[in-house]
Amino acid sequence: MPLLELPQLAMTSHDAVVFGGVLDQVLPVKVATWDALDPLQPFFNKSAAVQLGDLSLLSSFGSGFDGSLERQGNAQLVLPYVPELAINDYKVEGRTYRFQADGLFLSQEESQLRIHANVCAAVVFTFPPESLMPVAAAMTGSAQGSLAIQAALRRTTVFDRQADRRLGRVQNLLKQSLQLIHGAIAASGNVNPMLQLDDLVRRLLVMLLLPQLLHGDGANSITSTIAPELGLEERQQDPFSHDALVQWMLANLQEPISLSDMERRSCYSRRSRPRPFAWCKSRGPNALIRG
């Protein structure tokens, strides 16, 4: 699993209560109860946490556990690993979500959480939900994307990859992005902000929450599916100027420039971005970074 073999990040626990304390330290949660699933068996957990701006990642592997906690104001995605072994039951505000290979998105509005897992094998992404709004607007090329992601962020859900194969593709891309983060830390001890890996992760989170974007239709797809439900109308965009965008990039080479920054600056969505930049969307995480 990513991050766990980085000695500067790895934390090992042989006691379930100690592991609960680790969660208290690295996540915006307050652990109420935490115990091993089988108190008669030796307990083991290995975890590693990293912060990318206001986005935090926790990679964790080990024994099963049963616990309850209170989440404090952020949205979270639980991305499971080793699905053939793990069965996870998350009880959120009285409703139970069971998943193995599928990711679970926990909205900001859900606070009380009880977890029953026979194996701990997951990466947890924690982020302020409002951080996805400008990214969604940039990707769709209009303010509709921001409003659409707001609606999606209010729903706690299991991303069923069997029902929608697009969701499986994005979850696999998220795992590839974690390997990029792991490699960056292994090579230099940290994540260079010039790589804009946090923007990459946010873009994939937006795609997971708005799979309509995977059609490549950008704002058109949002307009035809989500936007009518919200009573929105398509916005006219400013005309694109290739020279102006290039000049802006050259003037800001000393600063991190993300693909979302380029889209916001150009007022173009993923679909309508001109050909010199369109190759980014089909080349996977590395291309998104280079873009």
CA–CA distance from 246 to each of 82, 174, 251, 265 (Å)?
A: 44, 29, 9, 10
In a domain, 134, yes or no: no
Residue 74, by phi and psi: left (phi above 0), alpha (psi -120 to 50) or beta?
A: beta
1 found inside a domain? no
Judge if 144 and 284 occupy the same domain: yes
pLDDT tens string, the chain, 291 residues long: the values are 999 999 999 999 999 999 999 999 889 899 999 999 988 899 999 999 999 989 999 999 999 999 999 998 899 999 999 888 888 999 998 899 999 889 999 998 878 899 999 999 999 999 999 999 999 988 887 788 889 999 999 999 999 988 898 999 999 999 999 999 999 999 999 998 888 899 999 999 999 999 888 765 444 545 444 444 443 344 444 555 666 667 666 676 666 767 777 776 665 544 444 444 443 444 444 443 333
Examine residue 133 and state whether it is found in any structural domain, yes or no.
no
CA-to-CA dists, residue 12 to 49, 190, 260, 289, 290, angstroms: 12, 21, 37, 32, 35
174 and 111 fall within a common domain = no
Number of domains forming the structure of the chain: 2
| Cα–Cα distance, 43 to 214 (Å, whole number) | 41
Q: Is 96 exposed, middle or buried (0-12, 13-18, 19+ CB in 10 A)?
A: exposed
174 and 247 belong to one structural domain = yes
Q: Which residue blocks in the chain are alpha helix, DSSP H?
A: 16-26, 133-140, 143-153, 165-188, 197-209, 219-230, 242-251, 259-266, 275-278, 284-290
φ, ψ (nearest 5 deg) of residue 119: -140, 140
Asked if residue 100 belongs to a domain, the reply is yes
CATH number at residue 94: 2.60.120.10
As a whole number of angstroms, the distance between CA 117 and CA 214 comes to: 31
Entry pTM: 0.81
Assess if residue 5 is contained within a domain: no
Kindly state whether residues 144 and 245 are assigned to the same domain: yes
**Are residues 100 and 225 part of one domain?**
no
Q: Are 77 and 103 in contact (CB under 8 A)?
A: yes
Instruction: Answer whether residue 3 is part of any domain.
Output: no
Place of tokens 């975890």: 47
Asked if 36 and 121 sit in the same domain, the reply is: yes
Is 217 contained in some domain?
yes
> What tens digit of pLDDT does each residue of 57-79 get?
999 999 999 999 999 889 999 99
Regarding whether 215 and 102 lie in a shared domain, the answer is: no
Which structural domain, as residue segments, surrounds residue 88?
A: 10-127
Q: Which residue has the tokens 């042989």?
A: 14
